[in-house]
Structure formats: C-alpha cells, structure tokens
Structure 1
Amino acid sequence: MNINKIVIAGAGTMGYSMAQIFAQFHYQVMIYDLSDKAIENAKKRISENIDILIDEKEITSQQGQEIMSYLSYTTSKDCFKDCDLVVENIIENVDIKKSFYKDISQIVSENCILATNTSGISINELASSVNKPERFIGMHWFNPCHLILLIEIIKGDNTRDDVAQTIYQLSLDIHKKPVIVQKDVLGFAANRIQFAVLREALFLVEQGVISKEGIDDVMKYGLGFRYACLGPLEVADLGGLDTFYHISDYLMQDLCDSHEIPRSLKEHFDKEEYGVKAKKGFYDYQDGKDLEVVQQRDEKLLKVFEALYK
C-alpha cells in the first residue's frame, strides 16, 4: 500500500514532531487541528527546530526550506478527503477519539489507513467507531519523537496484515525501529513494562527500602545503562538462564503484585502535583528547574542516540 499524503490530526508536541519527521523524508504532510492557536504554535516550533538543525549543521538552509515545503496546515476537515494515512494524536479521551473516528472514517477514501498514537487505549475499542475497521491500527510513538526510535504497531482484532506491514515498512523508511504488537492488550508492550517497573520502584520507596533518588540512580546507572544496549531476554541469556531461574524461585513471590494505584502516586495526583508540567511531582521543578530538566534529558538522550545509533 503506497503512502504519499499524510494527515497528522492534532498539532501538539507529538503531532508537530511526527509531521516534521515525515517531511524530512519527503512525505506530503498536512497538520490538522481544530485550534488556530495550536496550528500557529506548531508552525513556530517546527521553524525553531529547523533553525536548530541548520545551526548545528545537521542540514543545510536549502534542506531546511525543502522540509518546510512538504508541510501544510489546516483547520478544515477537507484535508482528509485525499490522504493515504491519518495519524491521530488528539486528546487521550476515549469518547473524543471515537467521535473523531466516526466522523473522519466517513470522509477518507476506502484505502486510507487510520492510525492512532494512543499510548494505551484499546485499539478494538476505538475501532468500534471506525467505518471499515480492518484499516485501523495503533502507531504508538514515544516522546521525544526525534530521538526515541521505537514505534509500537498494534493490531486490532480486525486489522489486516497488509495494513500492519505497510505501517511497519513506513516506520523503517523514516529510520525508526518498529515492533508489531500482535494482540490488543491494555498498555500494549512498552507501557506494561514501564508500569511494572514503576510499581516495584514505588513499592521499594514506600517501604523505606531505598530513597526516591536512590531508586532513580539504580535505573540510570545500572539497569537503564544496560537496557540501552540489551533487551531483558538478552540480559537473561547473557547472565545465564540457570541463574535467573534460581533467583526467580525465591524473588518472584516477594515482588509487589498490588492491583491498586501506588499510594505515593495517588498522593501526588490528589495534590495536583503532576510532575514537570505542574512544577512539582516526586521532585521540585520550580524556579526554572522544569526547563532545565527537559534540556538535560534531551542532551543526554542525544548523546546516547549518537553513540549507539547515529
């Protein structure tokens, strides 16, 4: 299935980042949003990103202009009439997403693929509002899009194999590392692993076993450093499955297996301490620390990216 024209629905951070990446690989990209303000912000941020790439000599000024020429912006649903792919990136609300799909799946052509960037909402649930759900699929990107290579491609019960393979090949063509999640499960693959780690990490902190700073250091300087190079099954193979078997015999029964929201996470939520966006979470982000921590994150990710994958 040929992909030439792409509509990114939702002009937020993830949306304009995806659009820029597709444009860099010469796809015709339209960014759609209901909000004129969101559209203007997307234009501004993409222009700033292009200027940074030019300043850092990653691309020439001419290449920057060429990237911009592949991008268009609109608040009109007419953009859905002649596209080959829609990648939806609107608010993470089931009802709003279903209403969106019920509407646009009647506008797009029969051969248009509809993909959602949801980070965990059931693909089957969203597909129930799609006309011709066999062309509906999950395409889960990770923030920041320009540095995180992984894309999860999630099949619903009705998703055609050729649709999944088309999105898989498209992901390769834009130099990403796609994986196909064959079954629609809540959280897909990455978030299930992420939240399993978070649950055990918060459990250890809440039990007084280790400080919050200590548990983050365990991940950054030990497990995370290792997992930047190896997957968990590769780690087990290299460590010896006999060793992992014997550890599992006594450790599995002692791990946190609570089905409740972790207590400390709930406490911060109840206080509206949402992390960087609220300038307070597990850590304090006031007095410019919010911008500083995001900048440090991106700088470190870029160094890892350049060392391992560039």
Structure 2
Amino acid sequence: MNIQEIVIAGAGTMGYSMAQIFAKYHYSVIIYDLNEEALSNAKKHIQDNVSILLNEQELTSQQSQDLFNHLSYTTNKDCFKECDLVVESIIEDLKIKKSFYQDISQFVKDECILATNTSGISINELASAVYKPERFIGMHWFNPCHLVLLIEIIKGKETHDSIADAIYQLSLSIDKKPVIVNKDVLGFAANRIQFAVLREALYLVEQGVISKEGIDDVMKYGLGFRYACLGPLEVADFGGLDTFYHISDYLMKDLCDSHEIPSELKEHYMKHEYGVKCQQGFYDYHNGKDVEAIKQRDENLIKIFHALYR
C-alpha cells in the first residue's frame, strides 16, 4: 500500500513526536487537534527538538528545513478526507476514542488505514466503532519516540494481514523495529512484561527483601544492561535451558502471583503522587530534581542508543 499522506490525531507529546519522525522521512504529515493551543505547543516542541538535533549535528540545516516543509497543523477535520493513514493519539478514554472512530471512519476514504497508538485499550473494542474494521490496527509507539525503536503492531480479529504488513513496512521505512502482536490481549506484549516485572519488584520491596533503590539497581546494572542486547529467550539460551528448567522447578511457585494492584503503588496513587510530573512518586523530585532526572534519563538513553544502534 502506498502511504504518503499521514494525519496524526492528537497534538500531545506522543502525537507531535510521531509527526516529527514521519516528516523527517519525507512523509507529508498533518497534526490535527481540536485545540489551537495544543497545536501551538506541538509546533514549539518540534522546533525546540529540531534545534537540539541541529546543535548535536544529528540533522543538517537542509534536513531540518525539509522536515518543516513536510509538517502542517490544523483544527479542520477536512484534513482526513484524502489521507492514506490516520494515527490516533488522543486521550486514553474508551468512550472518547470510540466516538472519534465512529466519526472519522465514515469521513476518510475507504482505503485509508486507521491506527491507534493506545498503550492498552482493546483493539477489538475500538474496532467495534470503526466503519470497515478490517483496515483498523494498533500501532503502539514508546516514549521517547525518537530514541525507543520498538513499535508494537497489534492485529484485531478483523484486521487484514495486508494492513498489518503495510504498517510493518512503514515502520521499517522510518528505521523502527516493529513487531507483530497477532492477538489483541490486554497490555499487548511490552506492557504485560513491564507490569509482570513491576509486580515482582514491588513485592520484593514490600516484603523487605530489598530496598526500592536496590531493586532499581538490580535492573539497571544487571538485567536491564543485559536485556539491552539480548531478549529473555536469548538470555535463557545463553544461560542454558537445563539451568533455567531446574530453577523454574522451585522458583515459579514462589513468585508473586497477586491479582491486586500492588499496595505501595496504590498508596502513592491515593496520595496523588504520580511520579516525576508531580515531583513525588517512589522517589522525591522536588527542588529541581525532576528536571535533572529527565535530563539524566535522556542523556543516558542517547548514549545507549548511539552505542548500540549508530
């Protein structure tokens, strides 16, 4: 399928980040949002991001100009009429998303692909609101989009294979590492693994086995370091499946298998302590610690990205 014109619905962090990447690779991109202020903020963030890339010599002045030439912004729904692909990145609210698709799927041309960047809402549930649901699919990006290579492509029960292949090839064309998730399950693949790790990590902290700083160090300097190069099945192959079999025999039955929200996570939530964005979560981010933490995260991610993929 020939995808040339893309509309990104939603001008938030994920929306403008995706738009910037598509434009960098010469796709014509329109960022659509109901809110003019959101569009203005998106434009400013993209300009700031491009300035950083220019300073770091990641882009030439000509490339930056080309990028801006491929981007436009609008609150006019007419932008959907002739596009080849819509990537929706609006609020994570089932009712709002379904209302959006009920409207837009009747408005776009029949061959237009409709993709959602939801991080967990059922693809099949959203597809129930889509006219011609066989062209509907999940396209789950990860923040920060310009550094995290993974894109999960999630098929609904009615998604045509040709649609999944088109989004897979599109993802390759922008130098991403796409994976096909063949069945629509809660959390897809990445979030299921992420939350399984989080459940066991919080269980060990709550049981007094290890401190919160200690469990983060276990991941950063041990497991995470290794997983940056090898997947979990590759790790098992290198470690020896006989070894992993024998460990599984006694360890699997002892792992946390609670179906409840971890108590420490619930406690912070009830206190409205949501992490970096509120300056308090498992750690304290007051007095400029939030800005420093974000800066440190990005610097480290860039170093890893350059070391492994450049």
**TM-score scaled by length of structure 1:** 0.99
State the alpha-carbon separation in 2 of the partners of residues 123 and 4 from structure 1: 24
Residue-by-residue CA offset, 1:28-80 (whole Å, 9 max, x unaligned): 00000011110000000101111111111111112111110000000111100
State the alpha-carbon separation in 1 of the partners of residues 31 and 291 from structure 2: 26
Q: 5+ residue gaps in structure 2? A: none
2:159 — aligned with what? 159
* 3-state secondary structure, aligned to 1:139: strand
1:301 — aligned with what? 301
State the alpha-carbon separation in 2 of the partners of residues 271 and 286 from structure 1: 16
2:172 — aligned with what? 172
Residue-by-residue CA offset, 1:9-40 (whole Å, 9 max, x unaligned): 00001100100000000000000001111000
Residue-by-residue CA offset, 1:128-180 (whole Å, 9 max, x unaligned): 00000000000000000000000000000000000000000000000000000
| AA at the equivalent of 1:33 | D
Determine if the alignment matches structure 1 residue 287 to structure 2 residue 287.
Answer: yes
2:74 — aligned with what? 74
* 3-state secondary structure, aligned to 2:260: coil
State the alpha-carbon separation in 1 of the partners of residues 304 and 124 from structure 2: 36
State the alpha-carbon separation in 1 of the partners of residues 61 and 193 from structure 2: 41
1:131 — aligned with what? 131
State the alpha-carbon separation in 2 of the partners of residues 57 and 216 from structure 1: 33
State the alpha-carbon separation in 2 of the partners of residues 137 and 262 from structure 1: 31
Q: Percent identity?
A: 77
State the alpha-carbon separation in 2 of the partners of residues 168 and 58 from structure 1: 25
State the alpha-carbon separation in 2 of the partners of residues 63 and 211 from structure 1: 47
2:231 — aligned with what? 231
Map of 1:199-238 to 2, 5 A cutoff? 199-238=199-238
Q: Which moved more, 1:289-298 or 1:257-266?
A: 289-298
State the alpha-carbon separation in 2 of the partners of residues 293 and 128 from structure 1: 41
**TM-score scaled by length of structure 2:** 0.99
Q: 5+ residue gaps in structure 1? A: none
State the alpha-carbon separation in 2 of the partners of residues 296 and 234 from structure 1: 29
* 3-state secondary structure, aligned to 1:105: helix
Map of 1:257-276 to 2, 5 A cutoff? 257-276=257-276
State the alpha-carbon separation in 2 of the partners of residues 56 and 203 from structure 1: 42
Residue-by-residue CA offset, 1:172-210 (whole Å, 9 max, x unaligned): 000000000000000000000000000000000000000
1:187 — aligned with what? 187
Q: Which moved more, 1:52-61 or 1:65-74?
A: 52-61
1:110 — aligned with what? 110
Question: Aligned Cα RMSD in Å?
Answer: 0.5
* 3-state secondary structure, aligned to 1:50: helix
Structure 1 residue 256 displacement after superposition:
0.1
Structure 1 residue 298 displacement after superposition:
0.7
State the alpha-carbon separation in 2 of the partners of residues 36 and 99 from structure 1: 21
